[in-house]
Structure 1
Amino acid sequence: MTHLPDAASLRAALADTGWGPISVLATTGSTNADLAASARQGAPAGTVLVATHQSAGRGRLTRSWEAPPGTSVATSVLVAPRVPLSTWGWLPLLVGVAVARGITDATGLDARLKWPNDVLIGDRKVCGILCEAVPEPPGPKAVLGFGLNTALRAEQLPVPTATSLLLEGSQVDATTVLTAVLTELEEVLRAWEGGADPRPGYRALCATLGAEVSVLLPVGDTVQGRAVDVDADGGLIVDTARGRRTFVAGDIQHLRPR
C-alpha cells in the first residue's frame, strides 16, 4: 500500500470532475487554515489541498489533532454551495457520507458514521471531519476538511478507539482512496444542491441510529436515550426518559451496539 497520495495521479483521476486546482504538500500547519486563507485571496470553488502531515491540525470543538508524518492524509476542499446558508449545517454530515462511501468503494471495508460525522470502521474512528465557513466576499464559501488515518500502526494510535485503513487490513493505495472519496463528495453535493433530501443517504450509514447513546452537551450535562432519527436540519433525535429531544451539538457515546 502506498500511504502517500501522488499529485499527478490524483489530478489525472479527477480531471473530469469539478475538483481543481489540486495541490499535495508533504507537511503544513493546517490544510483548513491554508485553504481558508487562499479563499480570502480569491481561490476558486473546487480548489483541493492535501497534506500528508499537519503540525497544527484541528478537530471539532477546537481540539488539536496531529498524527506522525506519513500515517494519515489531511484533505481540504473549497466549495460554494448553491443553497441557502441556513442549510449549510448539513455540510459536515454530507462529507461524512462521502468519506464513508469512498472508503467502502475503494477498499471494501464497511465504513459507517457516528453522529454527526465521525467515520468508523467497526466501532473505531478512522476519519474526522471539520467544516468551516469563509464568509468574505465576493460570496460565501466553505472549507470542508477531513483527516483520514491511512497507515497508523497500533502503537501510534492516539486513543484506543482510533484505527487506520492499514490496521483494518486494507492494502489499497492512498491515491485510490482519496479519488473515491472526492468523487463521492462531488456526487453527494450535486444531489443536495439539486434539492435531494440528504436524510435517506445519511440514515443508511449512521451507526448511531438505533443505538443507546449518551450525549455530552457543551454545557457539561449528559443525556441518555435511544437515537431514533435525524431531523431536516441534521439534528439527532433521541428518545429519553423525559421525552423526545433533538440535539444539534454534543459528543456522542454509543452505549450498545446497533
Structure 2
Amino acid sequence: MNTPGTRDAILRVFRQRKGQFVSGEEISQTLGISRTAVWKHIGLLREQGYGIESAASRGYRLTQTPDTLIPAEIQANLETSCIGREVVLLEETDSTNRVAHEYGKAGAEEGLVIIADQQTAGKGRLGRPWASPQGVNLYTSILLRPSILPRWATQLTFLSSVAVARAIEDLSGLHPQVKWPNDVLIDGKKVAGILNEIDAEMEGIHYLVMGIGVNLNMTKAQFPDDLRYPATSLALETGRDISRLAFARVLYRELDALYKTYLQEGFKPIAAAWSRFFAWQGKMVEVDFQDRRLQGTVTGIDTDGALLLRLDSGATERVLAGDVRPL
C-alpha cells in the first residue's frame, strides 16, 4: 500500500536531488524500507500521475508532477515562515474546519493546514451548505494561535479575503471583488467563501480556524440548483482549468505574508489591502440583519470589521452581521 507517509518521503527525496537520478538503494536506506517496497511505491506513484524515469545502474528521477494536493508537493518551495509547517490531506471529510478544531484542541502547532479533496458537509456563514465536489476545488482550513483578544478575531476574516483575492489575480488574471463580510466575487458571482471560527475565553484566543473554500474547476452542472447567491468557478470565468496545486501554494504564501504583517503592524494595512478589492465603498446598499432591513451608504469598515453605513438621517450604523446587496 502506498501510504501517505512513504509517498511523501519518496517525493521529498526526489525534490532534494533536484531532477537528478536517485538509486533505489539510497531511497531504501533513507526510508528504512526494502528495495522491493521502493519499487512498489514508485509504481503506485506512477499510477497517480507522477512521471518517474528509471535507468539501469542510475535509479529513478522525477520528471513530471500531476495536479495533486499531496502535502509534499504543496510544501515544495513553499518558503513560508508559519503557514504550511504541517499539511494534512484528507481524501474525504465532512468539514475541514471540524478537523482543524480537533487538531487545535489537541495542541497542534500554529500554521497547520488541513485540505480535503471532497467535503460531505461543507458549510459557509450561518451554517449554510457549501457544495464541495471531489477533485475540482480547494477546501482548506488553517490553524492559527494569534495573541489577540476575541473581539479582534473578525479582523482575520478580512485577511483571508485579501489572500484569496490576490491568489485569484495571480493565477487567473481576473479582477475579483470582496463582498462584506466574507465572500469573494467575480462579476457579482461568488467564487470563494471564508468561515473563520475561534475557541476562546474572555481574556484570549486558544486558537483560530481559518476556513477557505475556492471554486476552481467546478462545472455548471456541479453547482446546486437552490443557490441563494449566483456562483461561479475560475475555470468557468477563464475558460481553462486552474491548477489546484499552484493555487494552494500561492494562497498559503499570501496568507503567511499577510499574517506576518498583521502581527507586526495590526489591522490597518490589512483593511487598506481589503479596501482595494471592495467595490461598494461610497455606494448605496441594503442590509438584512437581526430581523431588520436597512438602507444606507457604505462609508467603510470599523476596526472590528463592522460595516459602517451612513443612513438618510445622517446617523452612522454599525453592522456586525447581515446580508448586503447593492442598490
Give me the TM-score of the superposition, normalised by structure 2: 0.72
2:278 counterpart of 1:206: yes
Are 2:157 and 2:182, in contact at CA under 8 Å, matched by a contact in 1? yes
CA gap of 1:251–1:139, structure 2 versus 1, over 3 A, is closer
Distance 1:192 1:15 in 2: 18
SS in 2 for 1:186: helix
Distance 1:161 1:64 in 2: 14
Within 5 A, what are the aligned runs for 1:1-258?
Answer: 4-18=68-82, 19-135=84-200, 140-158=206-224, 159=227, 161-169=230-238, 170-196=240-266, 197=268, 198-217=270-289, 219-243=290-314, 244-255=316-327
Are 1:113 and 1:208, in contact at CA under 8 Å, matched by a contact in 2? no
Give the unaligned 5+ runs of structure 1: none
Query: What one-letter code is carried by the residue in structure 1 that aligns with 2:172?
Result: T
Q: Percent identity?
A: 33
Question: How far off its partner does 1:102 sit?
Answer: 1.4
Query: What one-letter code is carried by the residue in structure 1 that aligns with 2:274?
Result: Y
CA RMSD, Structure 1 to Structure 2 (Å): 2.0
Distance 1:161 1:50 in 2: 25
CA gap of 1:4–1:211, structure 2 versus 1, over 3 A, is farther
- C-alpha offsets along residues 122-155 of structure 1, whole Å, 9 cap, x if unaligned? 111101110011238x961100000111111122
Distance 1:174 1:17 in 2: 21
- C-alpha offsets along residues 182-218 of structure 1, whole Å, 9 cap, x if unaligned? 111111111111124132111111123233211010x
Query: What one-letter code is carried by the residue in structure 1 that aligns with 2:211?
Result: G
Distance 1:208 1:96 in 2: 15
Are 1:129 and 1:146, in contact at CA under 8 Å, matched by a contact in 2? yes
Higher normalized contact order (CA 8 Å, seq sep 6+, divided by chain length): 1
Question: How far off its partner does 1:4 sit?
Answer: 4.7
- The structure carrying a bigger helix percent of its residues is 2
Are 1:132 and 1:144, in contact at CA under 8 Å, matched by a contact in 2? yes
Question: How far off its partner does 1:99 sit?
Answer: 0.8
CA gap of 1:128–1:233, structure 2 versus 1, over 3 A, is same
Are 2:216 and 2:241, in contact at CA under 8 Å, matched by a contact in 1? no
Distance 1:54 1:253 in 2: 28
- C-alpha offsets along residues 142-190 of structure 1, whole Å, 9 cap, x if unaligned? 0000011111112222336100011011433111111111111111111
Greater Rg by CA? 2
Give me the TM-score of the superposition, normalised by structure 1: 0.90
